[in-house]
Amino acid sequence: MSATAAPTSEETMSLRSWIAVLGAVLGAFMAILDIQITNASIREITGGLGATLDEASWISTSYLVAEIVIIPISGWLTRLLSLRVYLLWTSGLFLFFSVCCGLSWNLESMIVFRALQGLTGGALIPLAFQVILSLPVSKRAVGMTLFGLTATFAPAIGPAVGGYLTQMFHWSVVFYMNLLPGAFLIFAVLYGIDRRPKNMALLRQIDVWGIFSMAVGLSALTIFLEEGERQDWFSSRMIIALAVCAAVFIIAFLIIELRGKNPFIDLRLLLQKNFGFGCLVNFVVGLALYGALYLLPMYLSTIQRYNSVDIGKTMMWAGFPQLLVLPFVPRLLARFDGRWVAFIGINVFALSCLMNSHLTPFVGYEQLMWSQFVRALGQPLLMIPLSTITTGLIRPEQAGSASGLFNMLRNLGGSVGIALLGTMLSVREKFHSAKLVEGVNLFRPETRERLALMRSAFVQKGYDSVTAGKMAVGALDQTVRQQAHVMSFNDCFFFVCLALVAASLLILLCDPVRGGGSGEAH
C-alpha cells in the first residue's frame, strides 16, 4: 500500500495490502474485546484469585486506564519507531501479557498484568485506524467497514465469549484465546507492512511534560469515573483527590499542547468542523455503546437472575446481526450521502434504547431479543460513515493525532457513560422508591387487600398467621424495591436515547465527504 496524500482515482490493492489491513483490524478487535470479556467471568476470576468483587473491579479499571493513556500517544510513537516496528512490538507484548494474565497467582499480579495488557493492546486500536487511513480513497469505505466491526461487534459479543469460555473450560482461557489471532496479526505485519526508517530525532523534541500531564490526568479521570460510584463519590477523600488531580493535569495538558512548539498530539484538529463534531458524536456513541452494555447485563443479573451464559446469549443479539448489515454499508456510502446514513444509523440505535425504556420485571430474553436486533442494525450504519465523515479531511501527517483523539474520545465516553448511568440508577431508584412508598400505605384499601392476599398465600404454605403477616409485609416491600429498580433502568435507557438523538443533529452540521486523507503507508 503506498502513501498518497489525496488519491483521486480508483487504485488497486494487492493481497499483501489486504492481509495487512485484516491483521491490523484483528488486533483492534482483540483489544476492544478484552475490555468486556472479563466482565461475565468476574466471579470465577475473583474466586480463583481469592479476591472480593469490589477488589476485582480493578481488573477492568487497570486495563481501561492503561488503554486510554496509550491511545493518544500511539501516533507519536508510530512516527518515532515506524508503523511496522511499533505494531510488531506492541502485538508481541500484548500476547505476552495476555498469557501472564492467565497465569496470575493473586489479585495484585492480575492488576499489574492487566494494566500492561491494556498499555500494549490499547495501541492496537489507533494503529488499525491509521492503517485504514492509509488506504486509497476508493477502498477506505471497506476498511472503515472492517474497523466498524471492531468498534461495535467486539463489545457486543465480549460477555458471551467470556461467559462461554469460562463455563466450558477455565477463566484463564479468556486470556489465552488471544494467542491464535495474535499470531496472524504478527504474520500480517511482517508480510504486509513495509519497513520504514525510524525517526529517532523526535526524541530530541519529545514533549515530556505534555505526555506526563496527559498520562496523569487521564489516569486520574478514568479511576475517578470507574471507582466513584463504589466509593460514594465525593464522600471519599480518594475520589476528591482524583478529581482535583484530573482537573489540574488535564488543564495543564491542554495548555502545553496548544502553546507548545512540538506537541505530541495536535489538539487543533478538533477545531476542524467535521473532525470536531465527529469526535463529539463519537464521545456520545461511546457513552451509549458501553452504557447499554453496562445497563442490560445488570438488569438481567439483578432483576431476572440470569447467569453469565444466559446474559451472553441475550447480548449476542446485538452482535451477530451486524454481520448481515456490514457488507452493504460500503455500497450505501457509494450511493448516498454518508451524513444521512449515519443519521439514520444513530437514530435506529436510539430507537433500540427507547424500546429498552419500557422494561418490566417480566421482560426477559424473548422480549429483549428484538431491541438487541434493532441495535445491531443501527450501529454499523452509524460507526462506518461517522468514521469516514470525521476523518475525510485529515491530511497524511495528521493521521496519527486524528486516530488517537477519535478513538480515545469514544473510550472516554464509555467511561463517562458507565459512571453517569451507574449514579443515575442509584439516584432514580431512590426517587421512584420514595414515590411508590407514598402510594403504599395501610390506610389505602388496595394495600390492605394486597397484604391480605399475600398473607393468605403464606398461611396456605403452612406459616402461622403472625409469621405470614410479617412475610407479606416483607414481600410487598421487596416488590416495591424491585419495581423502583426497574423504573430506574427505564430512565437510564431513555436518557441514552435522548443523548443519541441530540448527537444525531451534529452529524447533519458536518460537510459532505467522499473520502479521507491518508496516514503512514505500508
Instruction: Let me know the angle formed at the C-alpha of 518 by 512 and 519, rounded to the nearest 5 degrees.
Output: 135
Query: Do residues 158 and 36 make contact, with C-beta atoms less than 8 angstroms apart?
Result: yes
Residue 500 within any structural domain of the chain:
no
Q: Which long-range contacts (CB under 8 A, 24 or more apart) does 52-56 make?
A: 54/230, 55/107, 56/107
Residue 415 within any structural domain of the chain:
no
Domain count, the chain: 2
Residue 255 within any structural domain of the chain:
no
Query: Do residues 344 and 374 make contact, with C-beta atoms less than 8 angstroms apart?
Result: no
Residue 45 within any structural domain of the chain:
yes
Q: Which amino acid is at 82?
A: S
Residue 161 within any structural domain of the chain:
yes
Please state the rounded mean pLDDT for residues 24-46.
Answer: 81
The most confident of 134-148, 150-164, 189-203, 456-470, by mean pLDDT: 189-203
Q: Who's near 425: CB < 8 A, 6+ residues apart?
A: 295, 298, 488, 489, 492
Please state the rounded mean pLDDT for residues 165-170.
Answer: 82
Closest CA to 26 of 170, 140, 103, 131: 131
Answer with the one of 149, 184, 204 that is the final residue of a domain.
204
**CATH number of the domain within which 119 lies:** 1.20.1250.20
Residue 209 within any structural domain of the chain:
no
pLDDT tens, 112-156? 999 999 999 889 988 888 888 777 777 777 888 888 778 778 887
Residue 210 within any structural domain of the chain:
no
The pLDDT, as a whole number, for residue 441 is: 64
The pLDDT, as a whole number, for residue 7 is: 37
Answer with the one of 150, 169, 204 that is the final residue of a domain.
204
Residue 61 within any structural domain of the chain:
yes
The CA distance from 122 to 150, in Å, is 13
State the distance between the two ends of the chain, measured CA to CA, in whole angstroms.
5
Residue 314 has pLDDT above 90, yes or no: no
Query: Do residues 342 and 507 make contact, with C-beta atoms less than 8 angstroms apart?
Result: yes
Residue 68 has pLDDT above 90, yes or no: no
The most confident of 135-144, 249-258, 440-449, 508-517, by mean pLDDT: 249-258
The CA distance from 359 to 185, in Å, is 42
Q: 34 lies in which domain range?
A: 1-204
The pLDDT, as a whole number, for residue 11 is: 57
pTM, full prediction: 0.82
Buried b (16+ CB within 10 A) or exposed e, 400-438: bbbbbbbbbbbbbbbbbbbbbbbebbeebbeebbeeeee
Cell of 450: 394486597
Sign of CA dihedral 298, 304, 305, 310: negative
Least confident segment among 183-192, 422-431, 458-467: 458-467
pLDDT tens, 490-512? 999 999 999 999 999 999 999 98
